[in-house]
């Protein structure tokens, strides 16, 4: 496995692979890797001859400086895990390599309401920063396939829209959420949970699964289900920010669910000092 810190060196390596006709798969991450991230690599290996991961804690997508400061960093373990998974190349740039001083790389795309709802409402500027870094990484790596997790459903939907708006010839592959045995979605942030909050956190997945079941069962309105889910999260000791049933493609609120509605139930909740998100596709 090769480790690159400089764009030029990574691009030189990839240009040779492309000349050989090899397919390039790419999984961007912020490090502190777990089995969910590794699943992206394993899926990429099924389709691509060259698999590239990036580890870059992107400062522009953190609206809260404390969150950026506290974001876990475990580079040694990350590299061991990527090597064991059969990753071919890792891109670990410095901030100055990604954002050269004096050069404004901010992406200006209109995502409509898609980046204003849910995470967009509670983390202003987050998706603009995320789209900017993903665009920058895609320009550098120029992959054939891009691998992202369902765990960050809104992020994936916005990236899908971005690829469409840019006319980028990249196939976006969604990888299902990897969970702990008790249902908690794997996340780099989980390692910051206190024992009490770790014990409470699986309720998020239980509550979201319950909403899906009750939607499909009929009898309750979407609003009633969202409200009772918020209440259940609060009763379990979490501080929920939202539970929203949204259209799976546009992320518009679903007012009334019908069996042919492609929807996703998304939630964000604080477990002590740690903000967790999860979703279940209906
Ligand atoms: P992050 O390092 O949190 O920015 O995540 C990097 C990528 O890994 C994103 O595409 C995430 O959606 C994906 N990912 C994170 N957690 C999981 C998980 N539990 N299962 C599957 N993919 C995940």
In 3D, which of 270, 281, 202 has the Cα closest to residue 241?
270
* pLDDT score recorded for residue 143: 98
- What residue ranges line ligand 1, CB within 6 angstroms? 29-30, 36-37, 39-40, 148-149, 151-152, 175, 177-178, 185-188
Sheet with strand 145-149: strands edge to edge: 2-4, 89-91, 50-55, 24-29, 145-149, 171-175
Q: Say how many Å lie between the CA of residue 172 and the centre of ligand 1.
A: 14
Q: Say how many Å lie between the CA of residue 231 and the centre of ligand 1.
A: 27
Q: Say how many Å lie between the CA of residue 20 and the centre of ligand 1.
A: 30
Atom of ligand 1 nearest to the CA of 177: 20
Determine the residue of 151, 154, 170 to mutate for testing ligand 1's pocket, defined as the one with the most ligand atoms within 8 A of the Cβ atom: 151
- From the list 37, 126, 144, 145, the catalytic residue is 37
Q: What is the pLDDT along the chain (282 residues), one digit of tens a residue?
A: 999 999 999 999 999 999 999 999 999 999 999 999 999 999 999 999 999 999 999 999 998 889 899 899 999 999 999 999 999 999 999 999 999 999 999 999 999 999 999 999 999 999 999 999 999 999 999 999 999 999 999 999 999 999 999 999 999 999 999 999 999 999 999 999 999 999 999 999 999 999 999 999 988 999 999 999 999 999 999 999 999 999 999 999 999 999 999 999 999 999 999 999 999 999
* pLDDT score recorded for residue 219: 87
Is 37 one of the annotated active-site residues of the chain? yes
Using DSSP, state whether 48 is helix, strand or coil.
coil
Q: Which residues of 8-39 are buried (b: 16+ CB within 10 A; e: fewer)?
A: eebeebbeebeeeeebbbbbbbbbbbbebbbb
Q: Say how many Å lie between the CA of residue 224 and the centre of ligand 1.
A: 30
What would the DSSP string read from start to end of 259-274? Answer: TT--EEEEEEEEETTE
* pLDDT score recorded for residue 64: 87
- E strand segments, the chain: 2-4, 24-29, 50-55, 89-91, 145-149, 171-175, 239-247, 263-271, 274-281
* Nearest protein Cα to ligand 1, atom 14: 149
Atom of ligand 1 nearest to the CA of 32: 2
- Dihedral sign for Cα 198, 203, 190, 51, please: positive
């Amino acid at each position: 496995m090769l480790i690159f810190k400089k764009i030029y060196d990574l691009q030189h390596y990839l240009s040779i692979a492309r000349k050989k006709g090899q397919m390039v798969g790419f999984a961007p991450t912020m490090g502190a890797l777990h089995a969910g991230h590794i699943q992206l690599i394993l899926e990429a290996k099924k389709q691509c001859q060259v698999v590239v991961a990036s580890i870059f804690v992107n400062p522009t997508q953190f609206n809260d400086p404390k969150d950026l400061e506290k974001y876990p960093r475990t580079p040694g373990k990350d590299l061991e895990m990527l090597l064991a998974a059969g990753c071919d190349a890792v891109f670990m740039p410095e901030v100055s390599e990604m954002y050269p001083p004096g050069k404004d790389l901010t992406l200006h795309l209109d995502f409509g309401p898609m980046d204003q709802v849910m995470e967009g409402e509670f983390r202003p500027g987050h998706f603009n920063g995320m789209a900017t870094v993903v665009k920058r990484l895609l320009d550098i790596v120029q992959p054939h396939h891009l691998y992202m997790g369902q765990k960050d459903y809104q992020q994936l939907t916005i990236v899908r829209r971005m690829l469409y708006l840019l006319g980028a010839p990249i196939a976006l592959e969604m990888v299902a959420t990897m969970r702990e045995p008790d249902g908690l979605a794997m996340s780099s942030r989980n390692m910051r949970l206190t024992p009490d909050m770790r014990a409470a956190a699986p309720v998020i997945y239980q509550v979201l699964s319950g909403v899906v079941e009750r939607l499909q069962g009929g009898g309750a309105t979407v609003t009633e289900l969202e409200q009772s889910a918020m209440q259940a999260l609060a009763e379990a000791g979490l501080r929920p920010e939202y539970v929203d049933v949204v259209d799976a493609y546009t992320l518009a609120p679903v007012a009334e669910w019908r069996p042919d509605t492609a929807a996703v139930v998304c939630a964000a909740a604080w477990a002590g000092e740690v903000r967790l998100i999860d979703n279940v596709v209906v």
